[in-house]
Amino acid sequence: MQQLSGVDAGFLSLETPTTPMLIGGVSLLDPETPQGRLEVETLRQLIRRRLHRAVAFRRKLASVPLDLTRPYWVELDPEEIDLDAHIEHTELPEPGGWHELSELMAWELGQPLDRDRPLWKMIYVEGLRSIPGIPEGSVALIGKVHHAAIDGVSGAEILAALFDGLGGDEPGPEEPETSVAPRPPREEPSVVDLLRRAGKDLAGAPLAAPGKIGRSLLGMAGGAWSRWGKTDKAAAPPLPFSAPRTPLNRSVTGERSWAPAFFSLDRLKAVKNAEGATVNDVVLALCATALRGWLFDSSKLPKDPLVAMVPVSVRAKEEKRDAGNRVSAMLVSLATDEADPLTRLRRIRDAAQASKTAHQAVGAQTLVQSADLLPFALSGLGVRLYSRMQLAERHRPAFNVVITNVPGPPRPLTVGGAPLLAHIGAAPLFDGLGLILPVFSYAGTLSIGVTADRSILPDTHSFAQRLEEALDELETVVDASAREFPEENRP
């Protein structure tokens, strides 16, 4: 058994009936393979052979009575996992296009996972008939995993289990049944076992707390020095709860909306090279442009710039294959008060660099370790009270939107020999956060899975179109600037 970290347990605490804490994704596949068509039963057999590759597939929660301390993960034998329950099968209604697939994805994002099983599920979807650029007869795999089990980077372990050639052993679909030795039968931990472990954890907490508190205070002092030591205070990163109020930042419902947007990585790189930025800076600018246009059209654009929370992985190389969350966060101003798209990009580029510097001064690991100090029972009670009293409407938001960028494989992949045509992500919402924009790159294409609360942003397809149009606009102004200002005279 392994106890959840403070960050992992926090995602359990954040979950309410209206806020399932699910990381998800849609993979589009051409199911025809040299070995025959990839059917749902073929997929189950493939995952059965690869269960040893990803611990998130094999472990379930064991909660301590009265939530005295954080829960534990209990690893199951592969034979104990019911793949009929974890891998479902459905078919899209006519006409089988993006609208139908998006509606199915949105519905799945609103359905919590069964905590009595390992916290993951896949849905094998047939009936894709009218998705542009995708051959008729293709299939989709909708996957969802609880955020307590993985973050965007540790999710790569699940990708290694699902996709051929990423597991470090056999490159193709035909692999040995298992690569782990069978273990002796094991019983579930009893209440007495869990209480005994909880007692040890509670007894050791006072000894560990001073060191963690000291490191947290030193980290915060470093962050304050990096901020207030600046000559130009306007260039300092935004503080938490300084973001403007927007329609995005209120209590959410249990209904989701979802839609994909796609971009050529080559186009994004051309813009970033022209402006001395990063691909992530350009993506932030596209999101800022779409948000500005959506709020402006509804007369809800605040005078102060929106603030994005950008997750930052703090996973060490030796933790690459570990499950769970190793993630911190930084805040970046999106310059939505700026009308000119090129100036907006340049301001975001500079703001992102300032936020990185401040984040390094705080010490990312410090922020992660500080979460271990929160009592699990009190954090869950606090979240439920916050949701029930709809407190998200009563204060300025900590940030307005989350934009999370996960680099994916640069080369084409297959699942059981079936080519992966595209992959788009999704991520969880909670009270105060009605929109999250997960970014994923794969084989020369970058996707954004627009994930929103349906009562706040019902038409995510129109928002996705705004994102795609934002790149067209940015390319136009960057090209015009390049013609007007030679590179050596460029701002």
Asked whether residue 442 is assigned to any structural domain, the reply reads yes
Query: What is the number of residues in the chain?
Result: 491
Averaged pLDDT for residues 104-129: 97
Nearest by Cα to 425 from 100, 26, 19: 26
Verify whether residue 89 is a known catalytic residue.
no
Asked whether residue 171 is assigned to any structural domain, the reply reads no
Structure confidence by residue, pLDDT tens digits, 299-354 = 999 999 999 999 886 544 544 455 444 567 889 999 999 999 999 999 999 999 99
Asked whether residue 288 is assigned to any structural domain, the reply reads yes
Dig out the tokens for 111 from the structure: 């359905």
- Angle among Cα 100, 30, 41 to the nearest 5 degrees reads 85
Structure confidence by residue, pLDDT tens digits, 242-258 = 999 999 999 999 999 99
Asked whether residue 327 is assigned to any structural domain, the reply reads yes
Catalytically annotated residue among 146, 147, 359, 423 = 147
Asked whether residue 153 is assigned to any structural domain, the reply reads no
Total tally of structural domains belonging to the chain: 1
Q: Which residue has the tokens 């709860």?
A: 241
Asked whether residue 335 is assigned to any structural domain, the reply reads yes
CATH number at residue 444: 3.30.559.30
Nearest by Cα to 139 from 163, 161, 123: 123
Helix ranges (DSSP H) in 90-242: 98-109, 155-162, 191-228
Structure confidence by residue, pLDDT tens digits, 295-313 = 999 999 999 999 999 988 6
485 with 491: CB under 8 angstroms?
A: yes
Asked whether residue 181 is assigned to any structural domain, the reply reads no
Dig out the tokens for 394 from the structure: 């009563």
Asked whether residue 25 is assigned to any structural domain, the reply reads no
- Say what the pTM is: 0.85
- Owning domain of residue 375: 231-404+430-489
